[in-house]
Amino acid sequence: MGAEYIPVLLLGALAFAFAVFSVTLATLTGPKRYNRAKRDAYECGIDPTPQPMGGGHFSIKYYLTAMLFIIFDIEIVFLYPWAVSFGLMGVFALVEVILFIVTVFCVYLFVWRRGGLEWD
C-alpha cells in the first residue's frame, strides 16, 4: 500500500522542478529589453485591471458571452466521442444524443429570446 503512488509523487516533483528551473533560467539567460508592453501582464488584449476608478469595469456582456461559449463548447465535447464511436453504440446512443442536443437547444432558444445574443 502506498508504493504505487510513488510515480505520482515523482511526477509532481518533476513538474515543480521544471517550473522553478524554467523561470530561473529565463531570468538568467533571457534578453532584458523592458518597455511598457513588456511589463503588462498580458502583451495583447484588454488590460485585466484598468486604472481609473469608475472607468474600469468590465461589462457583464463579456461574461455572458463567455458562459454561452462554454455551454456550446461542452456540447461539442460530448458530441465528438459520440460521433467517433457512433457505429458501435447504435440507436440507444443516437436517442440519448438527440435528447441532449434538444435540451441544449432549449437553452439556446431561451438565450436568444431573452436578448442574450444582442450586444447592445
Partner 1 sequence: MNELIASVFETPVINYRQLSPILIILGAAVISVLVEAFVPRANRRVVQLVLVFLALITAIIWAVTGAGQQAITGEGAIAVDGPGTFLQITILIVSVFVAMLMAENRLDPAGDAFTARANSLPGSEDEREYTNRGWTTTELWPLFLFSVGGMLLFVVANDLLILFVALEVMSLPLYLMAAIARRRRLLSQEAAMKYFLLGAFGSAFFLYGSAMAYGFAGSIRLGDIANAISALPGPNGLIIAAVALLSVGMFFKIAAVPFHMWAPDVYVGAPSPVTAFMASCVKIAGVGVLLRVMYVAFSGLAWDWRPLFWIVSIVTMLVATILALTQTDIKRMLAYSSISHAGFLLIAVIALNPQGIASTLIYLVVYATATVGAFGIVTLVRGPSGEATHLSQWAGLGKRSPLVAGGFAILLLSFAGIPLTAGFIGKFTVFGAGIAGGATPVVIVGAVASMIAAFFYVRVIVLMFFTDPAEDGPTVVTPSPFTGIAISVSVILTVIFGIFPQPLIELAEKASIFIR
Shortest separation between residue 109's beta carbon and partner 1, angstroms: 5
C-alpha cell at 119: 450586444
| Gap between the Cα atoms of 71 and 65, Å rounded | 10
Between residues 30 and 81, which has the closer beta carbon with respect to partner 1? 81
List of residues contacting partner 1 (CB under 8 A): 1, 84-85, 88-90, 92-93, 103, 106-107, 109-110, 112-114
Whether residue 82 contacts residue 93, with contact meaning beta carbons closer than 8 Å, is answered with yes
Shortest separation between residue 38's beta carbon and partner 1, angstroms: 37
| Gap between the Cα atoms of 50 and 63, Å rounded | 17
Between residues 18 and 110, which has the closer beta carbon with respect to partner 1? 110
